[in-house]
């Protein structure tokens, strides 16, 4: 869908704050044409939080039909607080302690802590059967009001079984209800994810005071051998042309810490393409660092390809981009829905073999399907993309990948009931042969179909979900809408988890 948006010099300072809807915006004929920064930013800063629910409140969620599952799924467990006053949670991320598969830490955008964007953190020491929830959200730099885009990673053993838990996020302020000062913030926990002291936080990349700059969508990874911490994100740079703020570049940036997250060194741009987004870092055997990202069609937001760069010297130098796959990217929203979707890549690496796996949502056969590919030579060549869901006439989106210690691949994604509804479910599939074949679908959510029209005027359900694999169990986290808001027949967004046993 397209809108026209006219900017004047007097409100130019507000433009960067529109950074997180992906509306297709075209400038008036007397101004420079093209997208605004909102077209490529991922943080949900532009969503109108005052619009509570798009769906008909009488549209009850029917029970799920029974059926055989390929895997065994434990009980679904709510991750966030129950007494959250109907506030929304989404964009969950989950990590597992490498030396204790029952120790899990999760994060999410949690508006119980801050109505316009707070980051929650939660931890479990019993394999996700129960979750501990703090009374306050992630403490961030006092110069910022809000927080979004959570990503987490465990450090290697730093001695005596002690591991840090790193949490990256975008922190920002608001001017007249829209975001400014988008800054990458990384903090860490020294007690297994139970606390994240503000004193442990670091500004990795700041945009304070520059209305033409915004740092967006960060993720974090750790080299389990060296302990180096890597953070990637998108630097959104604009310029002012005759009173109009016009997006100029969107490039992928990387910063490295060699002192366990206490400080971060020089920032390096790794995507020569000037219109990129959706980066994800991961580390393979021998400390090889990989960053995969999406290339949207300039000046729009539809992804046309996925590229990857790598570093063999700990992030000091990087290869030129290599094509992973061409993509027929998803539109802003799927037919008969209004919540935004994307074709950003999910990726994981087998620590034993070094084989890299990538998944994304693609529309090349007429509806949204999950495609996968793999590389056995460090990303120089890739297998022919495999359509995992092409026999379905509905839509699949938001894939996430993980590889267990034995080299098995776990994939989760949302799948719509059909192309006329905003309702969908969460499914899991597994590969035990290096990505050549995958198991049949296992439905993970058990509390009724998830509704994409719940809260935020139906526009926002988060931009990703999560999964992490242990040797015995896989743990998925997702946005779920089974609960009603207090004293209401309208549903709310929560984060739920479940353990899956092959």
Provide the pLDDT confidence category of residue 178 given band limits of 50, 70 and 90: low
Beta partners for 294? 277, 306
| Stretch 232-241: mean pLDDT | 90
Query: What is the per-residue pLDDT for 344?
Result: 97
pLDDT digits (tens, 9 = 90+) for 64-78: 443 345 689 999 999
Residue 31 has pLDDT above 60, yes or no: no
Q: How far are the Cα atoms of 175, 181, 184, 185, 430 from residue 141, in angstroms, in the given order?
A: 18, 12, 11, 8, 40
Residue 238 has pLDDT above 90, yes or no: no
φ/ψ of residue 461, rounded to 5:
-125, 15
**Is the model's pLDDT at 9 over the cut of 90?**
no
Specify the pLDDT at position 16.
33
Calpha distance 406→422 (Å, rounded): 37
- What is the predicted pLDDT for the residue at 47? 64
Q: What DSSP line would sit under 217-264, residue for residue?
A: EEEEEE-TTT--EEEEEEEEEEEEETTEEEEEEEEEEEEEESSTTS--
Query: Is 96:154 a contact under the CB 8 Å cutoff?
Result: yes
**Cα angle 393-336-372, degrees, rounded to a multiple of 5:** 45
In terms of Cβ atoms closer than 10 Å to its own Cβ (0-12, 13-18, 19+), residue 436 is exposed
Query: Looking at residue 198, what DSSP letter applies?
Result: G
pLDDT in tens, 337-361: 999 999 999 999 999 999 999 999 9
Place of tokens 């890739």: 382
Measured over the CA atoms of residue 445, residue 447, residue 451 and residue 454, the dihedral's sign is negative
Residue 240 banded pLDDT, cuts 50, 70, 90: confident
pLDDT at 30 over 90: no
For residue 489, what pLDDT is reported?
A: 87
Among the ranges given (300-304, 373-377, 444-448), the one the predictor scored with the smallest mean pLDDT: 300-304
Q: Give the burial class of 448: count Cβ atoms within 10 A of its Cβ; 0-12 exposed, 13-18 middle, 19 or more buried.
A: middle
Say how many domains are in the chain.
Answer: 1
Task: Find out whether 230 and 200 touch, Cβ atoms under 8 Å.
Answer: no
* Cα–Cα distance for residue pair 439/442, rounded to 1 Å: 9
Average pLDDT over residues 291-295: 97
Other beta carbons within 10 Å of 366: 10
Give residue 273's pLDDT: 84
Element (H or E) spanning 146, and its range? strand 146-154
Q: How confident is the model at residue 327 (pLDDT cuts 50, 70, 90)?
A: very high
If DSSP codes are grouped into helix, strand and coil, which group holds residue 14? helix
What pLDDT does residue 485 have? 92
Residues 225 and 276: their CA atoms lie apart, in Å, by: 30
The pLDDT of residue 398 is above 80: yes
**Tokens encoding 328:** 């027929």
Quick one: which H or E segment has residue 402? Answer: strand 396-403
Are 434 and 374 a contacting pair, CB within 8 Å? yes
Question: In terms of Cα–Cα distance, which of 360, 229, 233 is closest to 289?
Answer: 229
Q: Mean pLDDT over all residues of the chain?
A: 87
pLDDT in tens, 37-66: 565 665 555 666 556 665 544 454 444 443
- Name which residue leads in pLDDT, 455 or 410: 410
CA distance 384 to 324: 10
Q: What's 34's domain CATH number?
A: 2.120.10.10
Range 299-324 average pLDDT: 95
Is the model more confident about 33 or about 78? 78
CA-wise closest residue to 14 among 5, 22, 4, 27: 5
Q: How confident is the model at residue 110 (pLDDT cuts 50, 70, 90)?
A: very high
> Which are the contacts of 438, defined by CB distance < 8 A and separation ≥ 6?
372, 388, 409, 411, 429, 430, 431
Q: Based on C-alpha coordinates, what's the Rg of the chain? A: 21
Report d(CA 439, CA 72) in Å as an integer.
Answer: 13
pLDDT at 28 over 60: no
Reported confidence tier of residue 13, pLDDT bands at 50, 70, 90: very low
Residue 460 lies in domain: 2-501
Degrees to nearest 5, angle at CA 202 with 199 and 205? 155
Sign of CA dihedral 453, 457, 460, 461: negative
Picking from 355, 371, 358, the residue whose alpha carbon sits closest to that of residue 434 is 355
Q: What is the pLDDT of residue 57?
A: 47
Cα gap 136→115, rounded to integer Å:
13
Least confident of 2-16, 202-216, 269-283, 473-487: 2-16
């Amino acid at each position: 869908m397209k809108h026209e948006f006219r900017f004047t010099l007097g409100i130019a300072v507000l433009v960067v704050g529109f950074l997180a809807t992906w509306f297709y915006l075209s400038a008036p004929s007397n101004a420079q044409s093209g997208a605004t920064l909102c077209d490529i930013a991922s943080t949900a800063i532009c969503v109108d939080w005052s619009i509570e629910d798009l769906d008909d409140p009488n549209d009850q969620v029917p029970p799920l039909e029974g059926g055989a599952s390929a895997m065994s799924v434990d009980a679904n467990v709510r991750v966030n607080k129950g007494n959250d006053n109907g506030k929304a949670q989404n964009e969950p991320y989950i990590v597992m302690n490498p030396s204790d598969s029952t120790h899990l830490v999760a994060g999410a955008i949690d508006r119980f802590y801050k109505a316009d964007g707070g980051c929650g953190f939660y931890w479990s020491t019993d394999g996700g059967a129960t979750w501990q929830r703090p009374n306050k959200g992630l403490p961030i730099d006092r110069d910022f009001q809000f927080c979004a885009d959570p990503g987490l990673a465990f450090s290697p053993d730093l001695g005596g079984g002690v591991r840090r838990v790193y949490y990256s996020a975008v922190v920002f302020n608001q001017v007249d209800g829209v975001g400014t000062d988008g800054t990458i913030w990384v903090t860490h926990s020294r007690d297994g994810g139970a606390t994240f002291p503000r004193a442990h936080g670091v500004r990795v990349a700041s945009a304070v005071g520059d209305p033409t700059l915004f740092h967006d969508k960060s993720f974090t990874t750790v080299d389990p051998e060296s302990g180096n911490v890597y953070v990637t994100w998108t630097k959104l740079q604009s310029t002012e042309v005759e009173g109009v703020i016009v997006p100029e570049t969107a490039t992928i940036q990387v910063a490295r810490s060699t002192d366990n997250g206490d400080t971060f060194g020089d920032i390096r741009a790794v995507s020569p393409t000037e219109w990129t987004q959706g980066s994800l870092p991961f580390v393979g055997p021998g400390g090889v660092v990989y960053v995969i990202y999406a290339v949207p069609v300039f000046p729009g937001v539809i992804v046309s390809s996925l590229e990857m760069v790598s570093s063999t010297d700990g992030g000091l130098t990087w290869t030129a981009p290599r094509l992973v796959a061409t993509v027929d990217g998803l539109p802003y929203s799927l037919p008969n829905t209004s919540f935004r979707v994307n074709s950003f890549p999910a990726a994981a690496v087998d620590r034993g073999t070094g084989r890299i796996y990538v998944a994304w949502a693609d529309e090349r056969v007429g509806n949204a399907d999950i495609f996968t590919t793999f590389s056995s030579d460090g990303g120089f060549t890739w297998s022919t993309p495999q359509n995992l869901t092409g026999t379905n006439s509905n839509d699949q989106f938001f894939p996430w990948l993980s590889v267990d210690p034995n080299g098995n691949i776990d994939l989760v994604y949302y799948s719509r009931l059909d192309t006329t509804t905003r309702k969908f479910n969460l499914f899991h599939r597994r590969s035990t042969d290096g990505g050549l074949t995958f198991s049949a679908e296992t439905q993970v959510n058990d509390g009724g179909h998830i509704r994409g029209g719940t809260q935020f005027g139906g526009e926002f359900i988060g931009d990703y979900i999560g999964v992490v694999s242990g040797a015995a169990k896989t743990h998925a986290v997702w946005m779920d809408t089974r609960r009603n808001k207090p004293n209401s027949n309208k549903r709310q967004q929560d984060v739920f988890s479940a353990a899956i046993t092959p």
